[in-house]
Chains A and B, each alone.
Chain A
């Protein structure tokens, strides 16, 4: 420390001051974020460093907090739909599905078969887009600039396809209790049919370009090793859990929609490290394509929204319900409590990134600072979903 500067003068805000209370001798307190590029905008992590090693870490949340749960209590069930596109904007349709699933379960609403297939197709396309975005930005964090160009080229096609049917490119509000908002356009299925082999042909190139790269392997292998027992204590789900060797997927564990009729595998990796999580997501891209193949082939004619679907002032029956859906980041949960009026009494949103990040403090103890970047990226965090 320089002469004339004491600890009080250099300390930061309330969070840093509190964190610094446990500081040991000869260590450095460092703020990583909220503007650090590898935190993707608005996550802040306070670190205590001894040389290049992390002794303690504490994520500071709330920079993108919008109080979605309070918003649910001052609007009707249908008016809340657009919020679901903004909780996790990268896999917005996963949240769409979790919310309409909860409303349908609460109200006993049926969904036409065609709508179920439309949901599967759009949700899986969105999942691919989400994984591609993760892939590009993760490698950007690790210093590889090129992959994001390829990832965004492919993702752009998905955005075009989804825009043609939903009207938006990112913050989808496409599902409705009892179906989906719009029927498919004429060329939608043609576009999807063309996209499936396109991406399938790109995946070997992705593997050759990146996955087998020795630098990537060194940055990911044996980094951020996460035991299954720790996943349990923190409620980690999705590719983070599957990267620790347990093939748990809500689409199979608590089946919903037409997923039970579709054949797909749940990839898992027993290595428990950042590479395991990487490989799981890459394998999931292929599984998404398999699902798309079957859904596009099997989609029946019919209605896209059930007759008598909830109107804007629809009143839910009194009671509570919990519905879980598999998002790109893990288990999305919506806990709805209704008092019989047109607005939810309580709507709790369970976000997978929230649980996945909460284990970071324990996981990062004793690791290198540069590995923290690799670990944060391997958790595939979407900050607005954490803060809600």
Chain B
């Protein structure tokens, strides 16, 4: 069932992180244009939205969407990068109504704009505030590869290494492991 959840969508990286340390069964990086179709698939498959959270990294703001299934538990992290030059992502509020508030929270904290959010106003910070309190100083940022261990890689698009370049010394590029 799980295997064809995103069939036909172009994923940047699809992997299986170690569940006992990460609490996730699947981690999927997608480009912004694949976000809404992926959310539709998840809703159709019976998943619910747990939360949406931002993460300030060298590459930009990585937005993590956590989904889980009530009947067959297993958490999926859907990750989308908002680059600093254009902090804008499509809204999934038309698919998961609960996303409206989560997106507004990410907007408050990181300044990411969600195009199509029905009520794009501050949620938790005062109405006129643009503080983005969870953005980090430039020297405090880490790369996505440093922070997130993808685990066993199922599919990897070439674009992934371009968007999240490996460190010159030592870090591997993302390649799917041949099934045994």
Interface set of A (CB-CB < 8 Å, partner B): 13-15, 18, 58, 61-62, 65, 67, 69-70, 73, 102, 105-106, 108, 230-236, 241, 246, 248, 253-254, 318-324, 331, 333, 335, 337-339, 345-346, 348, 350, 354-355, 358-359, 362, 387-388
Contact = CB atoms under 8 A, between A and B. Distances in A.
Interface stretch (B3-11, B117-125, B162-170): B117-125
A141 B42 CA distance: 38
Nearest to A234: B98
Contacts of A323: 23
A362 B97 contact: yes
Interface string B112-148: 0000000101111111100001100000001000111
A69 B109 contact: yes
B22 A235 contact: no
B127 A65 contact: no
A197 B77 CA distance: 44
12 contacts: A65-B124, A232-B46, A235-B50, A235-B96, A246-B70, A254-B73, A319-B147, A320-B148, A335-B53, A350-B50, A350-B66, A354-B101
Q: Name A's interface SS.
A: mixed
Given A331-B50, A333-B66, A354-B101, A322 B22 contact: yes
* Residue among A346, A354, A355, A362 facing the most chain B CB atoms (10 A cut-off): A346
A254 B20 CA distance: 11
A240 B66 CA distance: 20
A15 B127 contact: yes
B43 A346 contact: no
B88 interface: no
* Residue among A61, A323, A359 facing the most chain B CB atoms (10 A cut-off): A61
A335 B66 contact: yes
B46 A335 contact: no
A346 B75 CA distance: 19
Contact of B97 (A70, A318, A359): A359
Given A65-B124, A105-B21, 4 more contacts: A14-B121, A241-B70, A345-B142, A358-B98
Contacts of B134: 69-70, 73, 346
Interface residues of B, number: 44
Contacts of A338: 147
B123 A62 contact: yes
A62 B48 contact: no
Contacts of A354: 101
Contact of A14 (B95, B109, B128): B128
A235 B134 CA distance: 24
A358 B124 contact: no
A337 B66 CA distance: 14
Interface of B: 20-24, 43, 46-51, 53, 55-56, 64, 66, 70, 73, 75, 77, 95-98, 100-101, 109, 119, 121-128, 133-134, 142, 146-149
Contacts of B123: 61-62
B51 A333 contact: yes
A65 B125 contact: yes
* Residue among B21, B51, B109, B123 facing the most chain A CB atoms (10 A cut-off): B51
A333 B50 contact: yes
Contacts of B51: 235, 333, 335, 348, 350, 355
A70 B148 CA distance: 20
A19 B125 CA distance: 17
A73 B141 CA distance: 12
Contacts of B126: 62
Contact of B70 (A105, A232, A350): A232
B147 A339 contact: yes
A67 B50 contact: no
Contact of A387 (B24, B121, B124): B124
B109 to A, nearest CB: 7
A13 B24 contact: no
A388 to B, nearest CB: 8
Given A69-B134, A339-B147, A346-B55, A322 B75 contact: yes
A102 B24 CA distance: 12
B98 A235 contact: yes
Contacts of B142: 339, 345
Contact of A18 (B50, B121, B133): B121
